Structure 1
Amino acid sequence: MIDADGEVDLFDLCQVDCFLEMVFVAVLRSHRCRGIGVKLCEISINIARSLFNGNNVKTALNKEEVLPNGPIPKGACAIFTNKKSQPLGRKLNLSIATKISYEKFTFEGKTFAERLGSEEPCTTVEYITF
C-alpha cells in the first residue's frame, strides 16, 4: 500500500484534503460473484458522499456521545491489487489514477510478476471525487 500510494499523490491530483479510503475489502471465495464487493464499496462511497453533503452519519459505539462531522471526505479511493478486483472500479465509475506494474514490487528477491505470472499484470489506484 505504501508503495502504491507513493506512485501518485491523489490529494494533489484531485486538489482535495480528505478521502475515504476503502481498504482490505474482501469476499470469501464461496460468496463471490454475488455483488457483495460492489455493494460494500457502494455503501462506503455513499457514507463519504453523505459526510460531504453535511449529513453526520457517524454513530458512537455507546450511542450517547455525539461525534464530530469532520474531517469531511471530498471523495473515495481504493487500491485494487488484481484482475478480479479491478472490475469493481469500472462498476463504481472510479477513475484510474495510475497502474503499477507487478515488476515494481518484490518479495524475497522475486518480483510479483515472476510469482503471479502475466495474468496479474498490475495494481491500480482509483478514486472518485464529489
Structure 2
Amino acid sequence: MSTSKIWATSEDGSLEYISLPKELLPKALETMQKSFYINENVCMACGVPQQPECFPELDGLLRRTATDGVSIVAVDKASGVVAGAAFNKLEESGHSDFFSEYAKCLKYSASKGVVQWMADADRMFDIYEHCKIDSLMEVMFVGILPTFRQRGIAKKLFEVSIELARELRTGRNVKLSVDERKLDIGRPPEIVSALLTSFITQKITRDTSFKVGKKMYFDWFVYDGRPLSEVIGPQTPFFTFEYYRL
C-alpha cells in the first residue's frame, strides 16, 4: 500500500484515520455507496437510492474529488474495512463552475439532481466573498458504514480534515496522490467549508467550532417539478453552508 499518513487512532485502537491511498479508493467508494448515496437527505430527495444505476456517475465525481489528494478514510485495523470516508476537495475563487460542468455529462436524473443542487447552492452563497478569501478545502462527502455508526467517526473525520488543511496552510505538502500524479502544494486553503444537510452533521460542526455562513431551505430547490422538501420532510427544513477559519 502507498505510504499513507496516520492522522489519528481511535481510543480503543481499532480504527486508524489515514490519508486516502489509491489502493483503498475502491473500498472508500463502496462505503459511500452503502451510506451517503442511500441515506444523505439530498441523495434521497433526488431518488439516488431508487436509481442505483447512477452510482457510477457519483463515483466519478468522488474519484475526481479524490485526485486532490486531501481525502481521509477511517480504516478498521482488524478487517481492513473502510468504516468511514471524507472526500475533500481543494477549491479556489473563480472556479465555481465545477459542479455545473460535471452535471452536463451525467445521464441519470438522480445523480444529475444531486450535482445540480450543489452547483445551485454554490451560486446562492458566495463563501469567498463572505469570508474574504481566495481558497478553501471543502469537506464534500462524508459517509459512515451503518455497522460503524455511533462511534464518533464522522466527527473525527471532520477534525482530521481540519488538521490536514492546517498542515497545508503552514506549507507542509501532505497530499497523497491516488493516480500516480505528483501533487504540488499549490495555494493552501484559508478555510475548511461544508454543506450540512442534516441536524446530525450540523451538530458535529457545532462541536468542532464551524460557523454558519448561510442557512438555506430545501423548498427553495425544485427538481423534476417538486421541491426537495417534499421528500425530505418538515423535520429537516434547511441545510447550512458552514466554514472553519484556519
AA of the residue aligned to 2:196 = F
Output aligned runs, 1:9-88, within 5 Å. 9-60=126-177, 67-88=183-204
Structure 1 CA distance, aligned partners of 2:207 and 2:240? 14
Structure 2, unpaired ranges of 5+? 1-117
- 1:116 aligned partner, one-letter code: I
Following the alignment from structure 2 to structure 1, what is the Cα–Cα distance between the partners of residues 183 and 196?
A: 31
CA distance in structure 1 between the partners assigned to 2:154 and 2:223 by the alignment: 27
Q: What is the number of residues matched between the two proteins?
A: 129
Deviation readout 1:35-88 (Å, 9 max, x if unpaired): 11111111111111111011121244588x864221211110000112222112
Q: What root-mean-square deviation, in Å, do the aligned CA atoms of Structure 1 and Structure 2 show?
A: 1.9
The aligned amino acid for 1:86 is Q
CA shift digits 1:84-110 (9 cap, x unpaired) = 221121011100001111111223222
Any gaps of 5 or more consecutive residues in structure 1?
none
Report whether the alignment pairs 1:105 with 2:221: yes
What is the CA–CA distance in structure 1 between the aligned matches of 2:198 and 2:119, rounded to whole Å? 17
What one-letter code is carried by the residue in structure 2 that aligns with 1:16?
I
Shift in alpha-carbon separation, 1:55–1:111, aligned structure 2, 3 A: same
> What does the per-residue CA deviation read over 1:1-53, in whole Å, with 9 as the maximum and x for residues that have no partner?
11211221111111111101111111122322211111111111111111101
| AA at the equivalent of 1:115 | V
Letter in 2 for 1:90: R
Higher relative contact order (CA 8 A, sep 6+): 1
How many angstroms apart in 2 are the aligned matches of 1:110 and 1:73? 36
**Secondary structure in structure 1 of the residue aligned to 2:135:** coil
Once residues 60 and 101 of structure 1 are traced to their aligned partners in structure 2, the CA distance between those partners, rounded to angstroms, is 36
Q: Which amino acid aligns with 1:103?
A: D
| SS of corresponding position for 2:235 | coil
The one-letter amino acid paired with 2:151 is R
Runs of 4+ in 1 over 3 A off after TM superposition: 59-63
Query: Could you tell me which amino acid in structure 1 is paired with residue 245 of structure 2?
Result: T
Distance (whole Å) between structure 2 residues aligned to residue 102 and residue 61 of structure 1: 34
Tell me how far apart the structure 1 counterparts of residues 167 and 121 of structure 2 sit (CA, whole Å): 27
Query: 2:120 corresponds to which residue?
Result: 3
More helix by proportion, 1 or 2? 2
